[in-house]
Structures are given as structure tokens and as C-alpha cells.
Amino acid sequence: MTQETELLRVENLDVTFKIPKRGAMPWTAPDELQAVSQANLSVLRGETLGLVGESGSGKSTLARAIIGTVPATGGRVLWKGKDLTALSAAERRSHGRHVQMIFQDPLAALNPRMTLGQIVAEPLQTHQPDTDADTRRRKVGEMLERVGLLPNLQNRYPHEFSGGQCQRIGIARALITEPELVICDEPVSALDVSVQAQVVNLLAELQREMGLSLLFIAHDLSVVRHVSSRIAVMYLGRLVEVGPAASVIGNPVHPYTKALIASVPIPDPVKEKARKRPILGGELPSPIDPPSGCVFRTRCPIARAECATFRPEMREVGADHTVACPFSEGGDDLAG
């Protein structure tokens, strides 16, 4: 991996929130919720990195720390080698044209008081203020056509569109400044299955046409496995497995990754009924009071006593494939 091919690098990133204790006096020290802990990952030019994990695992918080809407409490976010966490607010805004975001709820992400044309044109007004009104309108029309919407709809409002159309508007807004990296924060989870496929295919087509890099966040591994070049698996704020998509899906190593893969249904009812499934005990622990050592140990089917005393570091198990578990082996012993 060379610096020329690497757009984004996250190094030992921490995000911690102060949470007031319920019913406590105002002077009582708040609890600390560590949403992201020591995260390390990179996004290469032209690739799609899938970030997968249960709801509450810290995926969206990590994404917001990357774009700067959530402050990092430790570590660095490097863009082509430049530390974004050291930039001023004005410098981060200027950098925003290079990294854009597509949000989970397409309708909630759009201002209901603005027309379609105003919504898509707003990033141009922010990052290219010298662009005249006619040029902006032309660029908006061209971008709407690229995402499958008619240019003559620019005077309509978000409530006049379906959920799938609203997500296309969100995509057009994210791409209007021609960014190099787009962070897709569960962009299809709020859509019908048939519409999900359309939006995923649209993103893949736009990626090829515009040379985009994508950070594709989802809790559904069946979606991530079809769009990603590499996959990073996250649990309770920590990355537990990172590697090429074919390797992570075909030869998962971490017990949590195996459980996620086993949760994806097989379309053949006979095979679906016959296969083994790992049983994860208990619920997702609270990030305010995470387990000591390995955070997955309270639900892990192969946990040992020593898992409570040390935090596992990432180790190599293949070409560009790392995992945070010293005891698990690759294969389908848990995936079924």
C-alpha cells in the first residue's frame, strides 16, 4: 500500500462522550461512553471499504469523527497524509468538498423548506461560491439526470418524493462537488428491498464513472459483501477483523464475524434449515461499562479466562487480513 493510493487513514482514533448520571447531582462526575476505541483503518483510491457491525457498535460515530461533525478525543484522521484533526473549523469546511456523506434516513436528511434544486445546489454555494446561478442550475440538472431524476423536478419539495427518490436526491447532493470519498452511512437500510438493489447498483455505477472511493456502512452483511473490496468488522467501538472481502467472507476468523455471516439467510430452505448457527449469549454490553479485556468475551463461544485480562491486538492471518483474536482459527466451524 503506497501513500499515492491511500486517500484516508484513521490511526488509533478514540471518540468518548460525557454522559450525565441519571438522577445524580449536577456536580457529580459524568459517565464516559467510549463509542470508538483505538480504531485503525484506511480507504484506498477507487475502492469500497465496507464497515459492518450491529446497531450500537460505533460505525456511524466513526464516520462522523472522520468528517469532523463529532470531535475525536484521541488519535488522528489523515487525508492524503494531512492530519484533519489538527485543522481549524474553517479549514475543515474547506476540506468538506473532498469528503461527502450520504445519510441513513433519506427524508430526514433533507430540509423540508428547501426545493430539490436548492438542496442539491447548497454544497456548490458553500464550496464554490463564485459559481453563477445559471451554472449552478445546469450542474444540478446534470447531476439529477445521473442519479435517475428528471431535471424539471427542481422546484418540488422533499415530501413530494418517495423514499428511494429522496435517497437519490441525497446522493446527488453528496456528489455535486465531485468529492473523492463518499461515506455512505447505512444508505439503504430505510428502503424497501427492491429499492435497496437499485440504490446499491446506482452507487456502484457512479463509483465507476466518477472514480469515487466509498466507505459503505451497514449492519447487513448481505449488502456489504456485494459492494465491498475490503470489509472491516466492528463490535462495541472496536475493530475486530479487517481484510479483503473474499477473505473475510470466505474464511472468517473472528467469532463475531462468523456469527454475522451465519445470520445471513440462505435462499435454499433445505440448506438454511440444515446449517449450524453460532449462539451468541446475552445482549450487546453497554459502552458505558464495557467488559474488561476483549469486549466480545461475554458473548463469545470460545472465550477463555485470560480473555478478561488483556485486550487482543490485531494479528495477521493472511494477505492484508488482520483479526483481534489470538484463539480463533479461520474456516466455517461457526459460520455453518
pLDDT digits (tens, 9 = 90+) for 276-301: 766 676 778 888 889 999 999 999 98
Strand-pair partners of 31: 19
pLDDT value of position 324: 96
pLDDT digits (tens, 9 = 90+) for 32-90: 899 999 999 999 999 999 999 988 899 999 999 999 889 999 999 999 999 988 888 77
pLDDT value of position 279: 63
Diameter of the chain by CA atoms?
67
Domain range annotation of the chain = 6-98+179-323
More confident residue, 8 or 286: 8
CATH of 6-98+179-323, one of 3.10.20.90, 3.40.190.170, 3.40.50.300, 2.40.420.20: 3.40.50.300
pLDDT digits (tens, 9 = 90+) for 203-254: 999 999 999 999 999 988 888 888 899 999 999 999 999 999 999 999 999 9
Of 97, 98, 116, nearest to 107 by C-alpha is 116
Please, what is the average pLDDT of the chain? 89
pLDDT greater than 60 at residue 188: yes
Query: 69: which DSSP letter?
Result: S
Cell of 304: 477463555
Strand-pair partners of 14: 74
Query: Is residue 97 within 8 Å of 67, Cβ to Cβ?
Result: no
What is this structure's pTM? 0.90
CA dist 256 to 4, 294, 306, 330, Å? 33, 12, 18, 12
Cell of 229: 473490496
Rg over alpha carbons for the chain, rounded to the nearest Å, is 21
Please state the rounded mean pLDDT for residues 189-193.
Answer: 84
The DSSP-derived string for 194-218 is HHHHHHHHHHHHHHHHHT-EEEEEE
Half-sphere exposure of 115 (CA within 13 A, CB side): 11
